[in-house]
Amino acid sequence: MRNSFFFLLLAWGVAPLVAQDKPVPRLAVVITVDQMRADYLARFGPYFGEGGFKRLLAGGADYRDCHYQHAITTTAPGHATILSGVNANIHGIIGNEWLDPQTYIQGNAVEDAGSPLVGLPPRPGRHPNAILAAKAGRSPKNFLGTTVGDRLKARYGATAKVYGVADKDRSAILPTGSKADGAYWTEEGLFITSTYYRAELPAWVREFNERRNATQYFGQVWDRLLPRAVYDAVQGPDDAPGEQAEDSLPVTLPMRIDGGQATLTSTFFNAFDHVPWNNELVAEMAMHTVVTQQLGQDDVPDLLAVGFSQPDKAGHAYGPDSHEVMDSYLRLDRTLAAFLDQLEATVGLAHCVIVLTADHGVCPLPEKIAAEQGPDAAGRIEMGPVRQQLAAALDAAFGALPADLYWIVGDGYGLRVSPAALAARQVTAARVATELKAALLRDRRFVAAYTRAELTGTGPLDAWGEMMRRSYHPDRSPDLMFVLHPYFLTRQLGTNHGMPHAYDTHVPQVWFGAGVKAGVHDERVGVEDIAPTLAGLLGVDLPDAKGRKLF
């Protein structure tokens, strides 16, 4: 009967999406922890409780050697890849922001002036439209890929529900794709959306904002869950060289979360992004979405993408070896345990498939590496002087430019050549890029560089070059892309990510729940494998995905 039905579909010109022998999970929950290195699960594991990360690891499939296969390991490309199974050369999200090739104006990965923000009420001391005016709208307009959620909506229509919930806009928007029922992220401690999804903030979201929001944490103190000696033993000293005091916060625990003001101001919300309570709000909003939107309550699969963004903010400021990062994960473990308990009570974990991963890792503080391996092993790069040296090299090669022109402008981990400079000296961008590459590589702090011609060509490149090809979109990317020496950063305090080095590419991939066989896997896998694997479990196909089904 099944074969007859298959051939009947072909006769009608309709192909079945996926032959499904197993029951389809009612709810897929994809949890992305921003800046979570894979080694954190082992490093902090002895101090986790039983119901959070340990529950997923003990009962799930742990792929311990999971890496991104693209070079520019930043937040937006990572989130765009997780549920599409393709890289920026296809989905077009080349960075968190990039310069428009025509206007040279920088835009955000999810920026869309045609989709204004909705959901921010007036606050005392702020013009009602201050943030709305300061920020363009948000949507997945710039995303060129297809996600698992898009395929669910294509197959089941409105009966399949797809939602994204996160602290960052791009973390809620990009994993869910273009057909999501909703994406909700925070501004000033409230969950908002844009007109791409809804003309007004839904009543169920307004109710949550009234009941639970960041202002309830004003003036509270973040301190360690465990004795300080435990953190010292695992992470080293709390006050380490290179840490960054930002948003009116110190570089040591405990810290009072008030934005440095006696009353509530916008600086408090910036500070709140650093602290673990941020994750609690995200988890509670995610569960509120499950309950109010009745996710997982029928046999048609639903999808919820949850993004915990706070570890990225703390990690940037204090580094992966800090007390703040360790405490963030110990507290996130408790938050995750409560979330899983609630999923058990509302949907039943036996009816869910859960994926845990990250959008990227992070580099250790260069000061730590330099102290351990010597001063030449790590460092910080000021890009202003570098660009001046490169401009001088171009002047020498092609003739100095008039004072009102410039050769290059920085664009992420790349350089864009000015069309006006090309016209003035009657040279091609390809020639200038070749000269730029040679000049840049004379600086040992840069270990590789690739021109547009190389990245768009068909000839083989080295391993980093092939990774850079996956991060390169010819309509959006600059004329030259570069790779920093390991443990070198262009950030002057704190730390960063974005390179094809293992500390940035190596992230968790843990599966749990319906259709998953528990076990530890040491084979090398890619984040690109998540989307086709999840699509298979949910009974849809994802024909453009470059990854493979893991089971």
Residue 77 has pLDDT above 60, yes or no: yes
Fold that domain 382-444+446-484 belongs to in CATH: Gyrase A; domain 2 (3.30.1360)
> pLDDT confidence of 381, banded at 50, 70, 90?
very high
Handedness of CA 500, 501, 504, 508 (dihedral sign): positive
- Give me the residue spans of the domains in the chain: 26-366+501-538, 382-444+446-484
pLDDT at 125: 52
User: 121 falls in which pLDDT band (50, 70, 90)?
Assistant: confident
Element (H, E) at 61: strand 61-67
Confidence of residue 134 (pLDDT cuts 50, 70, 90): low
Instruction: Tell me: pLDDT of 7 over 70.
Output: no
**Tens of pLDDT along 138-163?**
999 999 999 999 999 999 999 999 99
pLDDT of residue 126 exceeding 80: no
Position 486 scores a pLDDT of 98
pLDDT at position 135 over 80: no
| Confidence band for 22, pLDDT divided at 50, 70 and 90 | confident
Nearest to 250 by CA among 310, 199, 336, 323: 323
Q: Would the pLDDT of 130 be above 70? A: no
Q: Which of 132-136, 423-427, 514-518 has the lowest mean pLDDT?
A: 132-136
Q: Does the annotation place 96 within a ligand binding site? A: yes
- Tell me what pLDDT residue 84 has: 98
Homologous superfamily of 26-366+501-538: Alkaline Phosphatase, subunit A (3.40.720.10)
DSSP assignment of 333-356 equals HHHHHHHHHHHHHHT-GGGEEEEE
Determine the average pLDDT of the residues in 242-249.
95
- How open is the CA angle 125-131-136, to the nearest 5 degrees? 165
Q: 194-211: buried (b, 16+ CB within 10 Å) or exposed (e) per residue?
A: bbbbbeebbeebeebbee
Output the average pLDDT for the chain. 94
pLDDT of the residue at 72: 98
* Count of helices and strands (H, E) across the chain: 22, 21
Asked if residue 168 belongs to a known ligand binding site, the reply is yes
pLDDT band for position 21 (cuts 50, 70, 90): low
Alpha-carbon span 28 to 355, nearest angstrom: 8
- Residue 277 pLDDT grade (very low, low, confident, very high; cuts 50, 70, 90): very high
Active site residues: 75
- At 8 the pLDDT is 32
> Region 342-348: what's the mean pLDDT?
98
Q: What is the pLDDT of residue 23?
A: 83
Phi, psi of 445 (to 5 degrees): -75, -10
- CB atoms under 10 Å from CB of 375, counted, come to 10
Query: Over 90: is that where the pLDDT of 383 sits?
Result: yes
Report the b/e string of 68-96 with b at 16+ CB within 10 A.
bbbbbbbbbbbbbbbbbbbbbbbbbbbbb
Q: What are phi and psi of 142, to 5 degrees?
A: -80, -10
- What distance in Å separates the CA atoms of residue 256 and residue 254, rounded to the nearest whole number? 7
* Higher pLDDT, residue 4 or 357: 357
Q: Is 169 annotated as a binding residue?
A: yes
Answering whether pTM is above 0.85, one says yes
Mean pLDDT of 365-386: 98
What are the tens digits of pLDDT across the range 458-495? 999 999 999 999 999 999 999 999 999 999 999 999 99
Residue 363: phi and psi, rounded to 5, are: -85, 140
Q: What is the pLDDT of residue 168?
A: 98
- Distance, CA of 529 to CA of 267 (rounded, Å): 40
Per-residue pLDDT at 11: 33
With vertex at residue 76, the alpha carbon angle to CA 136 and CA 74, rounded to the nearest 5 degrees, is: 125
Q: What percent of the chain has pLDDT above 90?
A: 92
Find the mean pLDDT for residues 533-543: 97
Tens of pLDDT, residue by residue over 306-322, are 999 999 999 999 999 99
Alpha helices in 400-444 (DSSP H): 419-425, 429-440
pLDDT digits (tens, 9 = 90+) for 167-215: 999 999 999 999 999 999 999 999 999 999 999 999 999 999 999 999 9
